[in-house]
Amino acid sequence: MTAEDQIQDTVTSNDVVLYMKGTKSMPQCGFSSRVAGVLNFMGVEYTDVNVLADDAIRQGIKDYSEWPTIPQLYVKGEFVGGCDIITEMTLSGELDQMLADKGISFDKAAAEKIREANA
């Protein structure tokens, strides 16, 4: 199985996937930590893929999405964005709306707390 096949399988067989440096319980970079922290705080169930564990996946995810940076968030097979985009979407409420529209459960009160803390 090629890296692209593996990525395709992962993003289509899991509702929410975060390609990141490190793991959701031990992020290895600040940007990955921020996105994982948002998802963890909001109670979103997601699959984490540590790109540091596999160079083919690390490069493959950049080629797959045509996006040059990591982390990368996928919801229902669709590329959503990296750290800056996820941060903006969280603060604007767009992330809540997208998750709700796609049937992904999350803690709405936690999302509100993030916005209050950053107002």
Looking up tokens 């893929």 gives 49
CATH number at residue 36: 3.40.30.10
Looking up tokens 């690390």 gives 58
pLDDT digits (tens, 9 = 90+) for 62-83: 999 999 999 999 999 999 999 9
Annotated binding site: 29
What residue numbers bound the domain in which 113 lies? 3-117
Q: Report the distance separating Cα 89 and Cα 38, nearest Å.
A: 11
Percent of the chain residues past pLDDT 90, beyond the cut: 98
Mean pLDDT of 94-105: 97
How many helices (DSSP H) and strands (DSSP E) are in the chain?
6, 4
Q: How many structural domains compose the chain? A: 1
Annotated binding site for [2Fe-2S] cluster: 29
pTM, full prediction: 0.96
pLDDT for position 1 = 87
Retrieve residue 106's tokens: 């999350």
Retrieve residue 62's tokens: 């950049």
Q: Report the distance separating Cα 42 and Cα 95, nearest Å.
A: 11
Name 72's bridge partners: 19
Q: What is the dihedral of CA 97, 101, 102, 107, to 10 degrees?
A: 50
Which residues are within 8 A (CB) of 88 and not within 5 positions of it... i.e. 6 or more apart? 94
Strands 16-20 and 47-50: parallel
